[in-house]
Amino acid sequence: MKEYFQKYSAAIGFVLRFLIVYAALTALYNWFIASAAPYPDQITTWVTEQSEWILEYSPYHIRMVLDDTDPFYRVMINDTYAARIIEGCNSVSVLILFVTFIIAFRGSWKHTVLYSLGGIVLLYLTNLFRIVILTMGVYKYPEYTEILHQLVFPAIIYGAMFILWIIWVKKFTKA
């Protein structure tokens, strides 16, 4: 049994680091969300405000309206309810997964911190533009709402994260 632990120590270390960091960051984020209830958390509010700011450059009249009963924002385009921005739209779960992988697949601490911060900024901006384009797409092509929301736009953010992971593993890890 000892020989298996020695043989697979790198893989076991990766899995343990991944599980510990993921559990810790997820627990911290869940506490953060719960502390905001019954309103949207601050990150979701920032994402909403920043998406609204970008959407104001569109040819449409845009308003983000806090829902009266649930913790989300209604996206109103030309006074039509086009979409909603909920906690899951703020990309924090994607950022947690990204950072967890970077920490678990070890590199130097300097590279880990800098790459994590750079990746967070890039993924956050990708998410903002994902929300903007998705909102406009749902408004203009409501018949494609499901495919846009469930397939196309998740592929954008997860695809960007996957590319960042590959760059991390190839350029910065100790593996």
Question: In terms of DSSP H, where are the helices of 56-152?
Answer: 92-104, 109-140, 145-147
Q: Which amino acid is at 69?
A: T
Domain housing 61: 2-171
Summarised one tens digit per residue, pLDDT across range 131-145 is 999 999 999 999 998
pLDDT digits (tens, 9 = 90+) for 33-77: 999 888 999 999 999 999 999 999 989 999 999 998 889 999 999
Number of independent structural domains in the chain: 1
Pairing of strands 80-85, 73-77: antiparallel
Give me the phi and psi of 40, to 5 degrees please: -65, 150
pTM attached to this predicted model: 0.91
List Cα–Cα distances, 26 to 23, 46, 98, 102, 152, in angstroms: 5, 20, 12, 15, 26
How many Å apart are CA 140 and CA 143, to the nearest integer?
Answer: 9
